[in-house]
Structure formats: C-alpha cells, structure tokens
Amino acid sequence: VTPGFGAGHKAYDNYSKHMASWGFAVIGIDFTNAGDHPQSAEDILDTIDWVEQGLSPLGDSVDTNFVATAGHSAGGKVAFGAASIDPDRIGAVIGWDPVNAGGPPCDILIFGSSDDPDAFCNRDPVAPNPLTGQTGIMDTMVAASLTFASPPGGPFTPEQHAANYFYDGTVNADAVYVLFPDGRHINWGPTAGDNNFEAQVGKPSGMAWLLRHLLGVSGPGIDAYIPPQAEGIEVQSKSP
C-alpha cells in the first residue's frame, strides 16, 4: 500500500486492516524520495524482493506468487508504475484516485508556509509525469486494474492527469473504472472511514478484486462487487 504525496502509509490503515482481515499480508511503505516517482516504483519492487528473500519479519509465511499493489493519488500512479515495470510478479492493481502527475501544484502544498513560494518550489521540485508521454509504458502491464476516481479538474486531480488515464492505459488485462461524481480526492486518504461512501464501495469491491484476480476465487459473493453496484457511482469495465 503506497501513500499519496505528502502522506504516510499509516494514513491508509483503514484499507490495510480490512485487507489483512481477509488473510492478505499487507505492507505499507513510505518512499525514500516521494518526489521521484520512478524511484518510488523501484521502492515497491525492492520491498517485494525483501519479502521474497525472507528478510522481512513475515519470514516465509507470505506467498509471493500472489502480489498486488494499491495506492492513493501519486501513490496510485506509482502502484501502476511498479506493475508496468514488473509484470511477472504483480497480478493486480487498485488505484484510489491515482493522479498521473508529479504532485499537486506547489503553491497548494505549502499552504502559505513559505514567504517565497517560488524559491520553495524550486528547492523542492517534484518529478514530472514519468508515465505520461512514454508511449507504450502501460502496454507492458498485465495486472488487472481497479481504478476509483473523483471528478477530474480539481486542484489535486488536474484534467489532463486524472485517473481515467490508468483505466484507458490498461490494455492487456481486465479493468474497471469507478467514478464518484460527488467524490473528493482526499476521501480515499487520511479522512477515510467506515462511514465514508468511497470506503463503503471501495473496500468490498477492492477485496473482491484481489480474491478474483490474485487467487482465482469466483462466485456470486465475488460477482456482486465486480463491478461495484451502488447508487451514485458511474462504472466502466473492459477486458482485453
């Protein structure tokens, strides 16, 4: 589980604990350099290596033949990036409103904490869009992708970098795109709770997605959540 820009993995404990309650080993990671998204994707792969080599506290209790990535905002983008780099090991991706951009505009991030915003932004730049403009980068991904989205065009979800990029870019696997017309980008992050509409839809459908595409579980209990069925959402789905 990978965090959005400026957040830490513990902000997503609501989702992580839910997945763990179904028997999945869930590892939340914080990036070595959150502004460098290619490096962040490598951080995910290094974490998988760490577990495969038996170096983690989990020992040999984890079956690394079944690996998924999940992330919010920039962390969602990095989750897709890792799946594109390592299609042999990552079989499913869940993106909580992933954003295909370097991060929110710098003046949003500083919240007035600097007297010289330009100097602040120049000193702490964010890597630009390593997935945008790289023709075919998503073509290597074979992981089934479930993408949740708030309406594009907000301050954290610029129109040209919105979550639909990841749905459109998934061409070699099943993909579902779930738009919450009244959703807010931060509702998948630190504010997520059991009474949050995004969580009410996202947690069961995300779990069904992992059970189907990692473990091959099928049946009415799974099919009822893929694609998600709820009033107030718009769903697209496709298969290769």
pLDDT at 192: 60
Alpha helices in the chain (DSSP H): 13-20, 37-52, 74-85, 106-110, 117-123, 164-169, 197-215, 220-223
pLDDT at 130: 46
pLDDT at 66: 93
Q: Report how far residue 155's alpha carbon sits from residue 92's, in angstroms, rounded to the nearest whole number.
A: 28
- 80's CB contacts (< 8 A; 6+ apart) are 69, 93, 95, 98, 131, 138, 141, 145, 166, 169
Reported as a single tens digit per residue, the pLDDT across 45-55 is 999 999 988 88
Nearest to 58 by CA among 93, 67, 216: 67
Is the per-residue pLDDT at 68 higher than 70? yes
Query: What is the band of 209 on the pLDDT scale with cuts at 50, 70, 90?
Result: very high
In the chain, what are the helix, strand and coil shares in percent, each to the nearest 5?
A: 40, 10, 50
Mean pLDDT, residues 190-205 taken together: 79
Tell me the whole-structure pTM to 2 decimals.
0.85
Omega of the bond prior to 204 within 30 degrees of 0, cis? no
More confident residue, 182 or 140: 182
Q: Within its chain, how far is the Cα of 225 from the centroid?
A: 19
Q: Report how far residue 211's alpha carbon sits from residue 205's, in angstroms, rounded to the nearest whole number.
A: 10
Nearest to 4 by CA among 148, 138, 123: 148
pLDDT at 134: 45
Cα torsion 207, 209, 211, 213 to 10°: value is: -160
Instruction: State what percent of residues in the chain have pLDDT above 90.
Output: 35
CB 89 within 8 A of CB 62: no
Average pLDDT, the chain: 81
pLDDT at 59: 75
Reported as a single tens digit per residue, the pLDDT across 75-134 is 898 898 889 889 999 999 999 998 876 544 444 333 344 455 455 445 444 444 445 444
Is the per-residue pLDDT at 145 higher than 70? yes
pLDDT at 73: 87
